[in-house]
Every structure is written in C-alpha cells, then in structure tokens.
Structure 1
Amino acid sequence: MAMNLASSGARRGRRASRRAPMAEINVTPFVDVMLVLLIIFMVTAPLLASGVPVDLPESRADPLDQEPDQITVAIDREGFVYVDDTRIERGALPQALESLAGPEGAQRPSVNLRADRNIDWGRAMAVMGELNRAGFSQISLVTTGSAEAP
C-alpha cells in the first residue's frame, strides 16, 4: 500500500505540473496603450488651456512658467474681452476684475493677456490699464513661438 501512495503522488505531481496555471502576465499591450494615452494627453493639453480662438502675434520670447493661480484674459478679433473663457460685456471689465481680485490686501494672481494680432493696440492698452487699476501688476503678454528674428 505504501508503494501505491508514492506512485499516485508522483502521478498527481506530474498532472499538477502539466495543468499549473500560467503565473506570468504579458504587460506589453498595457504599456503600448499607456504610451498612446500619454501622447494623446500631451497633444491635447495645450489646446485645453484656453478656448477663445485668438491669432497670437509671433515672438522669440521664452515660454511662460505655468502657475496654478494664473488668470487668462483674452481679446478676440472683434475686440471682445474674455476672462478665463467667460465673455465680459463692454464696460463690465472693472466689476469682473474686482470679483477676481479677492480680499483687500491679498496677493493678486498673475495675468496672461492673449490678444489677437489684428486688434487695435489701443484696445490692448485699455485692457492692461484696467488690469493695473484693479491691482494686477504681473501681466504677461502671450505670443506664439517664432523661428526667425524680426
């Protein structure tokens, strides 16, 4: 009987080794999918920054640092002003800026001004004047990159 147990144990061991579940996971398809998603997010992230279509002028300036508390002010071709993708009616810019300023004496966030290349320069100066009057002293003019010197 002892002989019988040993031989049946050997048979079970061989059966178990033949039918053992595969413990390895092939991660290559997972990595491929993740790389494709990364590329998609890298391409679409700059497009999500602002939704107002503005034809920016060209410049060879260094890129701006992205800060979490930045405000984007855009002026489109028709001269309408947008604060973070919200259209501001004519004459209502001071009130909109006061609501963004926060409590008195608090640090004002920096402002990125995106102005269409075909607008009147006086319009951009008027918006910058209102920003300065509301206490926003850090104003950056946003342009597109240019490969050649003007």
Structure 2
Amino acid sequence: MGASLQPRGGGGSRPRRRPMSEINVTPMVDVMLVLLVIFMVTAPLLVTGVDVDLPRASSPSLDQDNTALTVTVQGDGRLFINQTEVPLSALAARMDAITGANPDARVYVRGDEGVPYGRVMAAMGALYDAGYRRVALITQPPSGAAR
C-alpha cells in the first residue's frame, strides 16, 4: 500500500532546482524608455523664459555659469529676475534674498533691443549699488557669425 517516491529509470534522487540569479531587465528598460520620451517632450518646454529681442554685437562669448542669475529688461521696460517680474525699486532686495547677499554672484543682464538705454543702465546701476560687481550684458552674435 505504500507508494514509491523514487523517480523512474533507476535510483538516485532528482537534482534540486537552484533559484534563478539573473534579473529580468525588460520591465526596467520599458520604464526607462518611457521616461526618456517624457523628458524629450518636456525639455524644450522648460527652456522658455522671458521673451526679449537681444541686440546684436560681436563680442567674445562668456563661460557658461549655471548658477548665474539673469535680469531681463523687456521691451516695455518691465524687469524680471529669471522669470519672475520685479519692480526696479525691489531689484536689489530681491537679488540679496536670492543670492544670500553674495556680492560675488554672477549676474547676466538681457536688455531688449527696443528698450531705452537708460532703462537697462538703471537696472545695472541698481545692481551695482547693491554690491554686485560681476555683471555682464548678454547680446546675440551678428548675423552670419560663427557661434
């Protein structure tokens, strides 16, 4: 009445299965491809800033500084720090709040081609009065110039 638990075909025990040690990477690759597509679609939307027509000038290009702040003077005279609008009277206080009153912070000034020169200089003067000495003007290269 007893049942035999031995495999057919001769004695010996059946080899034990070892756990699979490889990782299935197919789901991870699928997720990474989806994330890649999402970033490719959203990245161009993130670089939009304040719309301004920069004047053209032949000048050497500056080293890229990812920590620099950009002060923009738009065509209608409005001021922006990065993409946030600020009045001229609050420019120094807002810059001090952003940089922690660090006078060595790099500041780029973008002035619209149609804005009066005095408006751009008023913004630069406010920055200078606040102690910012590393201020640079941003222009576009002349037409047909190599970048």
How do 1:96-115 residues align onto structure 2 when only pairs under 5 Å count?
Answer: 96-97=94-95, 102=100, 106-115=102-111
Name the amino acid aligned to 1:143.
T
Which of 61, 70, 90 is residue 72 of structure 1 equivalent to? 70
Q: Do 1:56 and 1:144's aligned partners in 2 also have CA atoms closer than 8 Å?
A: yes
Q: Distance in 1 between matches of 2:2 and 2:142?
A: 87
How do 1:28-47 residues align onto structure 2 when only pairs under 5 Å count?
Answer: 28-47=29-48
After TM superposition, the runs of 4+ consecutive aligned structure 1 residues lying more than 6 A away are: none
| Cα displacement (A) at 1:29 | 2.5
Q: Which residue of 1 aligns with 2:87?
A: 89
Q: CA offsets, 1:84-142, max 9 Å, x none?
A: 43333354445545655645xx5431111121121112221222122122211111222
Which of 112, 119, 125 is residue 123 of structure 1 equivalent to? 119
5+ residue gaps, structure 1, are 18-22
Instruction: Name the one with the larger helix percent.
Output: 1
Do the aligned partners of residues 99 and 24 (structure 1) sit closer, same or farther apart at CA in structure 2, a change above 3 Å counting? closer
% identity of equivalent residues: 25
Q: Distance in 2 between matches of 1:39 and 1:86?
A: 25
Q: Do 1:74 and 1:115's aligned partners in 2 also have CA atoms closer than 8 Å?
A: yes
Q: Which residue of 2 aligns with 1:52?
A: 50
